[in-house]
Amino acid sequence: MNIFEKIKYLLVAFSLLLSTTAIMFAMAASPATGNKNNGPAQTVYLIEVEGVITTGQKNFIERQVEHAIDIESQLLIVRINTPGGLVDATMKINELFLNAPVPVAVLVAPSGAIAGSAGTFILMASDIAAMAPGTTIGAAQPVALSPGGAAEADDKAVTFYASYMRNAAEEKGRPGDIAERFVTENLSLGSRESLEKGMIDYVAGSVHELMNIIDGKEIEKLGEVFILNTADAPIEQGEMTLAERFQNWLSNPQIAFLVLMAGFFGIYLGLSAPGTIVPEVGGLILIVMGIYGIGLFDANTTGIILLLLGLGLIMAEIFTSGFGVLGIGGTVSLAIGAIMLPVEPLMATDWYTTFLVTVAGVVLGLVIIMVVVVQRIIKSRRRWTGGSEHFTPPEKGVTVNDLDPEGRIKARGEYWSARSFDGSKIPAGREVEVVKAETLMLWVQIPQNEKNSNAD
């Protein structure tokens, strides 16, 4: 298999992968529907939060809270296991929980799990706080991230977040002075100690155990009283869509920093070797994604920028000779931009699904067109290179000047570098035959019949 066949198969594989992924994103973009036949105030809705608290996690939790409200769940349980995360995402999650018209229970589980830093903030904002045996909370002092690494935040930030933690805890009837120490002293507590100090309400090893414990409990929230009937209540659980998983992965601070640095490196390579195109295109896309990951762009802004960048690259491919690189970069940018656009509360879900399917169709069509174009280019190159790995040498020619022993001949309307095969001098204007070819040098000799005639 030569290099052109490998390129063709790689392009075909890439197009199939890209189109399949785009369609999967479109199918996965609609919110989970779940079972709505459980009746009002019956279902318990469960959300799993694993890993770093990111913008992707926030988008996922926001969608799940909206869905839990839509199906009139009697309780929202968040099972959490996190070392911490982004401040903005954490504050917005707390705002969601504090203002949700449904009680929110946060359970740190399973045994051995932690709710460090951002996780502790979320736990303090819950209506019901619980921990599994062997779990830990605390160490919530904020840190500042920079290219040089992580460092302690300044006193102003520490004071603000300590006050925030205290207010959230006292709002839910928990000791504010201890909650404040989570931030000011990096206090950490285990499940039993947290229960003794009143920082949590229950110790429960699992979601079902917690549901049995709180059965019949009254929760007052936003001026309403909720009586929980959870002992035998059905559980519905939401899952992240592929778009939310991608956003969650990208907004991880470590991943975002690496993506941003890779983008700058691509631009540097492009400027160092003008005309390569690939590093510049990839660098632009990675920089936009990295800026989103570190929190300077929201998902809407990032999606729109990537869509416009994708259209611009495709237009550039049409009007310039980008050799397919600009087109491929444009389709990738279009696909990622469509994924990044979140479902807006005032936008119909059907419209959003149709939009994703349309983008997927456009991406698939562009990929097919590029594959066809590249195949045509490969075929034309094969016709030009057919018969040899590099070129097809002529069989005969006429010397343009004396070969003594090197010079030039004319064959098939082209000029070739030539050398006398036996080292003898061949005068200009003589017909010669090609004996062999090495790189771009032809080894020639006077035709055998002319030699015999001269000998006679």
Min mean pLDDT across 141-155, 218-232, 334-348 is at: 334-348
pLDDT for 224: 92
Min mean pLDDT across 87-101, 289-303, 325-339, 382-396 is at: 382-396
Q: 396-455: which CATH topology?
A: OB fold (Dihydrolipoamide Acetyltransferase, E2P) (2.40.50)
First to last CA, the chain: 51
Report CA 215 to chain centroid distance, whole Å: 42
pTM check: above 0.85: no
The stretch 148-165 carries a mean pLDDT of 80
Percent of the chain with pLDDT over 70: 69
Percent of the chain with pLDDT over 90: 39
Q: Across 98-107, 241-250, 374-383, which has the greatest mean pLDDT?
A: 98-107
Residue with tokens 């470590």: 254
- Rounded CA gap, 443 and 403, in Å? 11
Half-sphere exposure of 30 (CA within 13 A, CB side): 13
Average pLDDT, the chain: 78
Closest-CA residue to 298 (of 56, 122, 49, 28): 56
Do 340 and 299 touch, CB atoms closer than 8 A? Answer: yes
Widest pairwise Cα distance in the chain: 122
pLDDT tens digits for range 5-23: 544 444 444 454 455 554 4
The stretch 299-317 carries a mean pLDDT of 71
Task: Give the total residue count for the chain.
Answer: 456
pLDDT for 201: 96
Residue with tokens 């040899």: 388
Hey, where are the domains in the chain? 3-25+243-385, 33-239, 396-455
Q: Tell me, what amino acid is at 371?
A: V
Confidence of residue 363 (pLDDT cuts 50, 70, 90): low
Q: Is pLDDT above 90 for 450? A: no
Token pair recorded at residue 184? 């000011």
pLDDT for 355: 53
pLDDT for 38: 38
Min mean pLDDT across 32-46, 180-194, 337-351, 409-423 is at: 337-351
What residues contact 235, with CB distance under 8 A and at least 6 apart? 43, 44, 45, 46, 207
Min mean pLDDT across 45-49, 78-82, 151-155, 286-290 is at: 151-155
Do 411 and 388 touch, CB atoms closer than 8 A? Answer: no
Number of CB atoms found within 10 A of residue 335's CB: 25
- Rounded CA gap, 432 and 426, in Å? 9
pLDDT tens digits for range 280-306: 777 888 888 777 776 656 666 677 777
The stretch 174-198 carries a mean pLDDT of 95
- Residue with the larger pLDDT of the pair 139 and 347: 139
Confidence of residue 160 (pLDDT cuts 50, 70, 90): very high
The answer to whether 33-239 and 396-455 have equal CATH topology is no
The stretch 29-44 carries a mean pLDDT of 50
What residues contact 8, with CB distance under 8 A and at least 6 apart? 374, 375, 378
pLDDT for 395: 87
Token pair recorded at residue 156? 């102003």
pLDDT for 344: 42
pLDDT for 54: 84
Q: ∠ CA 229-233-235 to the nearest 5 degrees?
A: 130
Torsions phi, psi of 41, nearest 5? 55, 40
Confidence of residue 270 (pLDDT cuts 50, 70, 90): confident
* CATH number among 3.60.15.10, 3.40.50.10320, 3.40.50.620, 3.90.226.10, domain 33-239: 3.90.226.10
pLDDT tens digits for range 368-402: 666 666 666 666 555 544 444 446 788 899 999 99
